[in-house]
A and B are shown apart, each in its own frame.
Chain A
C-alpha cells in the first residue's frame, strides 16, 4: 500500500522516492561506533507501507540471538496490545493512549536480502542553501546550511562538510519496494506495537486513521562501501544485530521457552540457548526448525507440539536438570577441575570467583567460562544425539526431504508455489501462516507427509517427551558408570549412543505399545501414560538392551581399556538385568493395581469370574474395616481378593515376561525386582551427628 501522495510527484530521474522531515542527531559515547538518528512522525498509512518487521528480511549470517528477538508473540499482540488500543471504543473517550517512539533501522536490501554496507557516502548540495550527505542509491539526509554553533556537521570525518540546522532536516529514502537494491525501514524496537497497529489497519483502518506515530530512524553513517577498508568496517547487519539484541534483551514479559532462553542462571538454561545457537550454525534454519524453541505456553513448552519437529528445548532442559544437577556430574560434564584457571584464577576473590561451582551457582565473572564449557563439552553431545544418532537422523532426513519438496514447489510459481512459500516461511522463518484455506491445506499436507513417513520408520516413540527424558535418564546411568571406571564423559556418551543407535537399527519394535510388557508400564492401549513411571519404563527398556551381548561388547570395548573391560562388561550386564527386572516389577504392580480398579468392566473375564471377584472384594473390604475399627487383628484376616487378583495377574505377568525376553532375544531368565530394591537413598537423620 504505497503512499500515493508521495509517489504522484515522483520524477523517474530522482534518486529517492520518499521524504520525511524531522530532527537529525548523533549517538556516540566514549569512542563508540557512531549511530545517527532521525526523529520524525509517520501517518498510519505511511507506517503501514514503510515500516517492516525484522523477519521480513533475510540475513546470511543470522544467529540465534537475533532470530529469538525477531520472534513475534502473536498472543501478546492480540491479548494485550490490541485491546489496549481498542479500549474505550464506543464510549466517550476520556482515556488517553500513547506509544513511545518506534525504533527503525535504515537497512539496505537487495533481492530480499540485507546488504552489508550502504552505498558510497558523499557530500551533496541538494538545492541552493541546502546541503547534505548521500549514501549512493540508498538514502540522503540534508538540511539548511548554517554557520551557527548549534549546527550539526553531517559528516565530521569529511573535510569541509557542511553544518546544517539539525531541527529542520530531511531524510530521503530510495525504498526497496519501488527500487530493488534500495532500503527498508526495519523496526528493531516496537515490533509488537507495529504488528498490533498493522492488524488494526487490516481490520478497520478508519479507527486509527488519525494516529500519527512517533518514529526514530537510525543508521550507522560510516558503514558504507566507500570506506578504505570495508573488511574491517562494522557491517550493517552486525551493527543492527547488536542494537536489536541490546534494545530487546531487557524484555520482561516472556513465557514458556523464552524463560529458559533468556535465563543464564543455570547450566541447563545456558545449554538450551547454546544448543539452539549451535544448531543454527551447524544445521541452518532447517535444523533449528526441528527443535521447538519459541513456544510461549507453559505446558506446551515441555512437550513436542508440532507434527514436524523432533524435540523441544523444554524437554532438553528437563532432561538435563533431572539427571545432571549433581556437583559430580557438573564437574565431569563441563570438565571442571580444581586447576581450571578460567574459573578459579590464582588469588581471586571468593565473592568474584566462587570457589565451588554448582549447577545453578556460579558468579557473573565465571558465567562466560561456564558458557564456553557448555559449548565445548556438553552441546556437541546434544547435537550428536538430536541430529546424528540413528533415529533422530532419520527424522531429520524425513523433514528435510519434505522441505526440499516444498522448496521445489515454491520455485515453480503459480498458486501452488505461493502456498508452498507460505508454508516454508512459517516453518523456517516463523512467520504466522496467513488465514487462507490453501495455505492451511498445504501445511496439513506437509505435516501429514512427515508424520506418515516417520511412522513407517517406527520413530513415533521419539516424539514423546517422556521418552526423550528417559533417554537422558538412561544416559545418566552411562555417565555414572563412566565415573566409576574413571572414563571420560565423551566415552560414556559414545557408549550410550552406541546402545541407542543399535536399538533403533536392530530392535526398534522393543518400544511398541502392542508389546505386552509396554502395556501398563508406559501405555494403556495406544495412549501413553503421562506420569514419571512411564519415563522410568522407557529408560529401563533402553538399558535392558544391554543384555544383548553383541552391543554390550562393542560398548565395553569403546569405553574401557583392556584391564577393566571385563569388569565394565559385567557392570553393564548387571545394569541390563536391573533395568529388565525393574520393568517387570513395575508391570506386575501396575497390572495388579489397574486390574483391581477395572475388573468389573473387563469383559475378557467370564461373568461369573467378575461376580466372584466382586464378592471377594466386598468381603475383604468388610474385614479390613473391622481391622480399622479394632475388632480384628490384621494377621487374622484372609485377603482372598488380593490373592485371586495375584493369580490372574500372574498369567499376564508370565506373558509379558516371555514377550520381553523375546524382544531382548535372551536365553536366560529375567528376575523381577521390587521397588524397594531401587536403592533410593534414605536421607538419614538430620545433622548434628557430632
Chain B
C-alpha cells in the first residue's frame, strides 16, 4: 500500500509508474543543478551570482504567471436627480502580491547555498500548478504527452501554456498517486481529481 505520493524529477521520467492514477505538477525552481551549481563542486562567486539571478528570474516568471488574472466589469451609477444613466466599465489587471526574489541579493553566498539546501527539502510543500488524472493512459505516457506538448508549445495544452509562460520544464516536479487497483475504479480517480482541483487550486489547470 502506497501511503504518500511519489515524486519524480524530469530525469526520473523512466521511473514514473505505468499505471493509472492522479498526478500533479509542482513548480520547483530551487534545484541547485538547474541553477548551475553542481554537487561536490566548490562554487565560484560568479557562479553564485549567476545562480541568484537565475532564481530571481524564475521566481519573476512565476509571479507573472500568478498575476495573469484580471477583473472586467461594469458599474452603473444612478442619481435620483439625474435621469441619465451613467456607466463605468473597464478591466483591472491583476498583480500578485510580494516580490520575494529581490531579497536574494541580501543573502551572502553561504546563506544563499543554505537557503537552497533548505528549499530542496521544503519544495514538496509547494502548491501544484497543474492537476490531472489518467484512466486509459498510464501516468508515464501522460507525462510524456505533457512534455511533448511543452516542447512543441502546442496551443490549448498545459505544456503549451507552460512554454508560453517561460517556466522551464526542468523546474517541475511530477507528483503522482498511482492506482493500486484495477482501472474499473474510474469514478474514484475522477472524483479525486475534482477534489484536488478544489483543494489545490492549480493555476495552470483549465476548469
Contact = CB atoms under 8 A, between A and B. Distances in A.
A485 interface: yes
Interface centre among A340, A560, A688, A689 (most CB of B within 10 A): A689
Nearest to A488: B38
B142 A684 contact: yes
Interface of A: 327-328, 331-332, 335, 337-341, 344, 355-356, 480, 483-488, 491, 560-561, 564, 679, 681-685, 687-690
B149 interface: yes
Contacts of A480: 11
Contacts of B13: 681
Nearest to B205: A690
10 contacts: A337-B35, A338-B54, A356-B163, A480-B11, A486-B38, A560-B39, A564-B39, A684-B137, A684-B144, A689-B158
B157 A338 contact: no
Question: A interface, by DSSP: helix, strand, loop or mixed?
Answer: loop
A687 B161 CA distance: 12
Interface stretch (B45-53, B84-92, B179-187, B189-197): B45-53
Contacts of A356: 163, 166, 168
B19 interface: no
A341 B46 CA distance: 11
A561 B39 contact: yes
A331 B35 CA distance: 10
Nearest to A681: B144
A328 B170 CA distance: 8
A340 B47 CA distance: 10
Contacts of B158: 689-690
Interface residues of B, number: 47
Contacts of A689: 132, 142, 145-146, 149, 157-158
Interface of B: 9-14, 31-36, 38-41, 49-58, 132, 137, 140-142, 144-146, 148-149, 151, 154, 156-158, 163, 166, 168-170, 206
Given A339-B54, A688-B156, A688-B157, A483 B36 contact: no
Given A338-B58, A339-B57, A688-B157, A679 B14 contact: yes
Nearest to B138: A682
Interface centre among A344, A356, A687 (most CB of B within 10 A): A687
Contacts of A561: 39-40
Interface centre among B12, B31, B52, B145 (most CB of A within 10 A): B145
A485 B52 contact: no
Nearest to A685: B145
A338 B168 contact: yes
B190 to A, nearest CB: 14
Given A339-B35, A682-B144, 14 more contacts: A335-B36, A337-B51, A339-B50, A484-B9, A486-B39, A487-B33, A487-B38, A488-B38, A491-B40, A684-B141, A684-B142, A687-B154, A689-B146, A689-B149
Nearest to B171: A338
Contacts of A687: 145, 149, 154, 156-157
Contacts of B33: 332, 483, 486-487
